[in-house]
């Protein structure tokens, strides 16, 4: 079959050992400048949030005598209304926001992949039920529901320290539908392919078929979806916290720091309070998007030479 | 002696990829005469399609580029024409059909619409004239119920019918040359025969030249007046068809002929040419077939044999037939 | 086709019922209801609160409340908003058209800009334009919408004073006719800009990806081989194919025209349904919240059906099945 770009025969010029999908994808990923940039930014953000505080000369304690100071040599991002160093707050808040983003995504992947696989693989009424539940959740407007759940948390007087867990959990529960559908449709199309017929002929058990044969093929999609899921979880959490319904003080979060802008004076006159957390979110999400996009391109066997 | 409608002169088309330069067409020269059927044969990747696409100037650039040589069509150097002039030739003086009829037609436009396009553009027909001509064309390629076909969509037609429509589109403006790139490879054998018959008939009626690209020697035997054998981007043998089959010179050609199973003759083992097509990246100056050839000599690995003709007009590029190595 | 529509409508009934139950439960099970929020103070005796509850119908057991509410829904009565003390439908009607105004403007600009950028990026892949556009787009959709809103508000309204700081009309003004239109338009610029910028990114990537996919197809090669002008190849042959999946996307965006962007409206103090519903959540005005959520859910389900229908009409391969 002729193609515009002739077939490349790797085997002659390469050492023994074929190139697997993963090695190919890795190579393509590394070559992507944006991917590398994204990884660098993400590494920086993680270090910033988790290691940064150890390098800060300040403590995270209120000191009202120093409240509301603009950026200076001593406080690079100034101080907030309780006299705390904003830069330090930014780092600590980062820990929370990043953690929530990741854990919420793990939860949603767990639910989504499991349900999607079951629905896709077993079909029948299991499929119908799962997809019906998915339809219901999908049809409801996400943000209002999220906000309501946040309000309920406040009503239930859940202690601030525990709210973070509830938030992660709720984010995960609301968002699994997309991944489930993706996984299900992939499994549906994979099921019909010949290699699955081969496993049937070999007489493999269901679980073996799913885990050893289907999953590796579904994994690239899941990885991409997961990466992008972290980005959207971070934004969702920041929206909730901005409204005061996500994590609440004393737990810091970028979203909550942004809510300083709700106060007219802080908004107009003290931008150092609310602009840095916004920028932090943007950088993190941007980096995640770079990486996610690059992963998607790397796993796609259709080369765009 | 009819004149040449196409002359490839030292054509070089390269592809610049991340892994290196692929010399898909590496100094290829041959001609096609008016009204003649020339079959370009070779394995996948030997450069036969790229040669045809170079003639149509449909090489995707990047990564491809026609880096050297000339292509003379009807007296003009194609490579020197402007884009606008080239567009007037495509679909008009040169028609082309491709291998995959299933995907070569636009799924959201009607057959009629797609047939009428070149007619209205190149022949400046009105919608009505184009409509009528299109119906005629559909009948010409042997499809019944032409009126119905005009308002149908590609997915409603079978593979064979789609290929006929492709042919109808390609010849609609009475081109001087029709290029058929593996037109039957994706079709059933019975349909193959019908398509080939159709091509033959149209060629006669319209006095067209036909450049038929294939890897199937059976088709060559049936259709060709003249054969050009390509390997790894180079022409390694060419001759009138009977001469080639009677007296194949190049070891590769011989291998191809030996490899084709013959109906009625049983063989213990089917013959295959040992080895593989070389990595097309950064090929040097040596005979590309040398590592698979059973007659390889020292010189084969050091220098590229030139294409040389003998008394019968039979050309071959092989050291076995050169100078002191002549047998 | 009609059969298809009817079948889908019937299929969506259980979905609707399921959604309504969940929505109702979420709100109703929450401790603290309207009465607690509004009236809790030392002077209020528990008996008095119970009386108020009975007045508001908040004292009946859950299933009964649900059925009563669902029954009313089906009859088109959504009850009365506790905040505004008038029918929910009327409240929604008061505010939803303001959100609709924003929504239409946003959708218009979003699709216009995204299509231009997307198609141009695809046709001129790897060009300087493509690279820069991609970078800017990535940055834009990495921003939380409310942050961008705040930023634009600060820069253009507070600092530069080019645009008003919020609201839909200049307070205490009484413009009519053209003056009114320009006044509203001035107030619309920033909120529309905010949401357009956020969504343009993703959409233009979609356009770009679809075009790139289509341009690689065999039938485009055929079109060129016929000697068609490049303009014809792109706009007649390629675009029509690339647009197919986008029809679905467009249709699915229609509910958002009515939903109102809650946080953005709040930031800009735009009197839309989003801002009002946000308030409703805070005060536990559950008839209003439930009415709104059900409305959006119904619209979403209908939009999904519509999207399938339109796709079926547009793509001849599906149409003739």
In this structure, are residues B281 and A13 in contact, taking their beta carbons and an 8 Å threshold? yes
Q: Measure the CA–CA gap between C311 and C8, rounded to whole angstroms.
A: 15
Q: Measure the CA–CA gap between C187 and C115, rounded to whole angstroms.
A: 26
- H or E segment to which residue C83 belongs: none
Max CA pair span of chain B: 67
- Supply B240's token pair: 């009138």
Considering only CB atoms, B106 lies closest to which of C219, C225, C227, namely C219
Please report, to the nearest 10 degrees, the dihedral formed by the alpha carbons of residues C143, C149, C155, C157 taken in order.
170
Chain C residue whose CA is closest to A290: C138
- H or E segment to which residue A92 belongs: helix A86-122
Q: How far is C321 from chain B (nearest CA, A)?
A: 10
Q: What is the pLDDT of residue B61?
A: 76
Tell me, yes or no, if A192 comes closer than 8 A to chain B by beta carbon. no
Tell me which chain B residues have a C-beta less than 8 angstroms from the C-beta of A28: none
Q: What is the pLDDT of residue C283?
A: 81
Tell me, yes or no, if C131 comes closer than 8 A to chain A by beta carbon. no
In this structure, are residues A216 and A79 in contact, taking their beta carbons and an 8 Å threshold? no
- Write out residues in chain A with pLDDT < 70, as ranges: 1-19, 210, 301-305
Q: What is the pLDDT of residue B113?
A: 94
pLDDT band with cut points at 50, 70 and 90 for residue C196 = very high
In this structure, are residues C203 and C114 in contact, taking their beta carbons and an 8 Å threshold? yes
In this structure, are residues A252 and A100 in contact, taking their beta carbons and an 8 Å threshold? no
Range from A151-160, C2-11, C228-237 carrying the lowest mean pLDDT: A151-160
Q: What is the pLDDT of residue A19?
A: 61
- Averaged pLDDT, B141-170: 92
Q: Measure the CA–CA gap between B193 and B212, rounded to whole angstroms.
A: 14
Tell me, yes or no, if C297 comes closer than 8 A to chain A by beta carbon. yes
Average pLDDT of chain B to the nearest whole number? 87
What SS3 class is residue A79?
strand
Burial annotation B46-77 (CB, 10 A radius, 16+ → b, else e): bbbbbbbbbbbbbbeeebbbbeebebbbbeee
User: Does the pLDDT of residue B225 top 80, yes or no?
Assistant: yes
ipTM value of the model?
A: 0.85
Q: What is the pLDDT of residue A8?
A: 41
What SS3 class is residue C133?
helix
- Averaged pLDDT, B104-127: 93
Domain B4-93+173-321 superfamily per CATH: P-loop containing nucleotide triphosphate hydrolases (3.40.50.300)
Considering only CB atoms, C27 lies closest to which of A148, A239, A268, namely A148
Ranked by mean pLDDT, the top range of A40-54, B272-286, C29-43 is: A40-54
Tell me which chain B residues have a C-beta less than 8 angstroms from the C-beta of C218: 98, 100, 103-104
User: Does the pLDDT of residue B59 top 50, yes or no?
Assistant: yes
Out of 3.40.1030.10, 3.40.220.10, 3.50.50.60, 1.10.3720.10, the CATH code matching A40-47+84-298 is 1.10.3720.10
The domain ranges of chain B are: 4-93+173-321
Q: Which of B228, B106, B244, B245 is nearest to B169 (CA)?
A: B106
Ranked by mean pLDDT, the top range of B139-143, C4-8, C199-203 is: B139-143
Tell me which chain B residues have a C-beta less than 8 angstroms from the C-beta of C226: 90-91, 117-118, 121, 169
Spell out which chain B residues touch chain A, with contact meaning CB-CB distance below 8 angstroms. 15, 17-19, 22, 24, 44-45, 47-50, 53, 59-60, 62-64, 99, 181-182, 185, 213, 276-281
Residue whose structure tokens are 């290699």: A195
Tell me which chain C residues have a C-beta less than 8 angstroms from the C-beta of A271: 154
Q: What is the pLDDT of residue C53?
A: 64
What SS3 class is residue B40?
strand
User: Does the pLDDT of residue B315 top 50, yes or no?
Assistant: yes
In this structure, are residues C207 and C130 in contact, taking their beta carbons and an 8 Å threshold? no
The domain ranges of chain A are: 40-47+84-298
C16-32 pLDDT, tens digit each: 888 888 887 776 766 65
User: Does the pLDDT of residue B106 top 90, yes or no?
Assistant: yes
Between strands B234-240 and B226-231, the pairing is antiparallel
Chain B residue whose CA is closest to C320: B156
* Percent of all residues in chain B with a pLDDT value above 90, rounded to a whole number: 49
C52-78 pLDDT, tens digit each: 666 556 666 777 777 777 777 777 667
For residue A24, count CB atoms less than 10 angstroms from its CB and return exposed for 0-12, middle for 13-18, buried for 19 or more.
middle
* Percent of all residues in chain B with a pLDDT value above 70, rounded to a whole number: 97
- The alpha-helical segments, DSSP class H, found in chain C are 2-29, 34-39, 46-56, 62-74, 88-123, 128-141, 145-152, 177-215, 218-225, 230-232, 239-259, 262-268, 273-283, 286-314, 316-319
Question: End-to-end alpha-carbon separation of chain C, Å?
Answer: 10
Domains of chain C in sequence order: 2-78 (no CATH), 89-314 (1.10.3720.10)
Average pLDDT of chain C to the nearest whole number? 83
Q: What is the pLDDT of residue B324?
A: 54
């Amino acid at each position: 079959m002729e193609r515009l770009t002739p077939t490349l025969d790797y085997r002659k010029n390469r050492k023994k050992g074929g190139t697997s999908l993963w090695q190919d994808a890795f190579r393509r990923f590394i070559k992507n400048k944006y991917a590398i940039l994204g990884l660098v930014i993400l590494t920086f953000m993680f270090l910033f949030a988790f290691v940064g505080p150890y390098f800060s000369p300040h403590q995270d304690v209120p000191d009202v005598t120093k409240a509301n100071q603009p950026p200076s040599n001593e406080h690079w991002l100034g101080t907030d209304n309780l006299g705390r160093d904003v830069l330090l707050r930014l780092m600590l808040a980062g820990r929370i926001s990043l953690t929530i983003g990741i854990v919420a995504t793990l939860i949603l992947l767990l639910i989504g992949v499991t349900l999607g696989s079951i629905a896709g693989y077993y079909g029948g009424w299991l499929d119908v039920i799962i997809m019906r539940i998915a339809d219901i959740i999908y049809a409801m407007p996400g943000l209002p529901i999220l906000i309501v759940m946040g309000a309920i948390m406040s009503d239930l007087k859940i202690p601030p320290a525990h709210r973070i867990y509830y938030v992660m959990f709720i984010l995960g529960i609301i968002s699994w539908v997309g991944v489930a559908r993706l996984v299900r449709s992939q499994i549906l199309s994979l099921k019909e392919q010949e290699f699955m017929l081969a496993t049937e002929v070999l007489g493999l058990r269901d679980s073996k078929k799913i885990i050893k044969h289907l999953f590796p093929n579904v994994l690239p999609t899941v990885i991409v979806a997961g990466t992008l899921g972290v980005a959207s979880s971070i934004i969702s959490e920041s929206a909730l916290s901005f409204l005061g319904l996500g994590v609440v003080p004393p737990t810091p979060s970028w979203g909550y720091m942004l809510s300083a802008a709700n106060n007219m004076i802080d908004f107009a006159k003290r931008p150092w309070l609310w602009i840095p957390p916004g920028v932090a979110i943007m950088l993190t999400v941007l980096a995640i998007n770079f990486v996610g996009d690059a992963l998607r391109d790397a796993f796609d066997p259709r080369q765009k030479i | 002696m009819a004149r040449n409608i196409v002359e490839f002169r030292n054509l070089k088309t390269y592809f610049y990829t991340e892994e290196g330069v692929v010399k898909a067409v590496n100094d290829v020269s041959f001609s096609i005469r008016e009204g003649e059927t020339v079959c370009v044969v070779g394995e996948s990747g030997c450069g036969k399609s790229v040669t045809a696409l170079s003639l149509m100037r449909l090489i995707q650039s990047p990564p491809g580029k026609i880096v050297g040589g000339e292509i003379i069509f009807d007296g003009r150097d194609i490579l020197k024409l402007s884009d606008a002039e080239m567009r007037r030739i495509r679909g008009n003086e040169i028609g082309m059909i491709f291998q995959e009829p299933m995907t070569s037609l636009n799924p959201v436009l009607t057959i009629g619409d797609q047939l009428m396009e070149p007619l209205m553009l190149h022949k400046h027909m009105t919608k009505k004239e184009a409509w009528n001509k299109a119906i005629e064309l559909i009948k010409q390629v042997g499809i019944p119920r032409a009126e119905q076909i005009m308002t149908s969509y590609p997915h409603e037609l079978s593979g064979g019918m789609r290929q006929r429509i492709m042919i109808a589109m390609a010849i609609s403006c009475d081109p001087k040359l029709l290029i058929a790139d593996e037109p039957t490879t994706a079709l059933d054998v019975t349909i193959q025969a019908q398509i080939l018959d159709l091509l033959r008939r149209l060629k006669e009626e319209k006095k067209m030249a036909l450049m038929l690209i294939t890897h199937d020697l059976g088709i060559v035997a049936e259709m060709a007046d003249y054969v050009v054998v390509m390997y790894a981007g180079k022409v390694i043998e060419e001759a009138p068809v009977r001469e080639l089959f009677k007296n194949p010179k190049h070891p590769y050609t011989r291998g191809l002929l030996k490899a084709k199973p013959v109906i009625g003759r049983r063989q213990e083992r089917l013959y295959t040419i040992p080895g593989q097509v070389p990595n097309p990246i950064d090929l040097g100056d040596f005979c590309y077939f040398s590592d698979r050839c059973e007659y390889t000599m020292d010189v084969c690995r050091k220098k590229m044999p030139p294409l040389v003709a003998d008394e019968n007009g039979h050309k071959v590029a092989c050291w076995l037939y050169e100078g002191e190595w002549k047998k | 086709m009609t059969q298809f529509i009817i079948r889908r409508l019937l299929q969506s009934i259980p979905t609707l019922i399921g959604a309504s139950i969940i929505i109702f439960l979420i709100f109703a099970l929450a401790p603290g209801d309207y009465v607690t929020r509004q009236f809790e103070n030392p002077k209020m005796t528990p008996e008095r609160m119970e009386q108020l509850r009975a007045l508001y119908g908040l004292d009946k057991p859950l299933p009964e409340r649900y059925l009563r509410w669902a029954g009313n829904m089906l009859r088109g009565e959504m009850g009365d908003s506790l905040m505004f003390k008038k029918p929910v439908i009327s409240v929604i009607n008061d505010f939803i058209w303001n959100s609709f105004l924003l929504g239409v403007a946003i959708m218009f600009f979003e699709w216009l800009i995204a299509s231009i950028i997307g198609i141009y990026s695809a046709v001129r892949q790897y060009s300087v334009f493509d690279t820069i556009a991609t970078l800017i787009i990535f940055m834009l959709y990495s921003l939380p919408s409310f942050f961008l809103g705040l930023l634009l508000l600060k820069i253009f309204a507070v600092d530069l004073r080019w645009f008003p700081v919020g609201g839909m009309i200049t307070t205490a003004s009484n413009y009519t006719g053209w003056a009114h239109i320009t006044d509203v338009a001035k107030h619309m610029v920033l909120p529309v800009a905010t949401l357009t910028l956020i969504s343009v990114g993703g959409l233009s990537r979609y356009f770009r990806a679809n075009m790139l996919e289509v341009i690689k197809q065999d039938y485009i090669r055929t079109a060129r081989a016929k000697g068609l002008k490049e303009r014809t190849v792109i706009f007649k042959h390629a675009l029509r194919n690339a647009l197919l999946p986008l029809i679905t996307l467009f249709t699915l965006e229609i509910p958002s025209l009515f939903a109102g962007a809650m946080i953005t409206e709040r930031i800009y103090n735009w009197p839309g349904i989003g801002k009002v519903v946000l308030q409703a959540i805070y005060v536990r005005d559950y008839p209003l919240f439930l009415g709104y959520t059900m409305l959006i859910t119904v619209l979403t389900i209908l939009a999904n059906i519509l999207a399938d229908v339109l796709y079926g009409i547009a793509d001849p391969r599906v149409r003739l099945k």
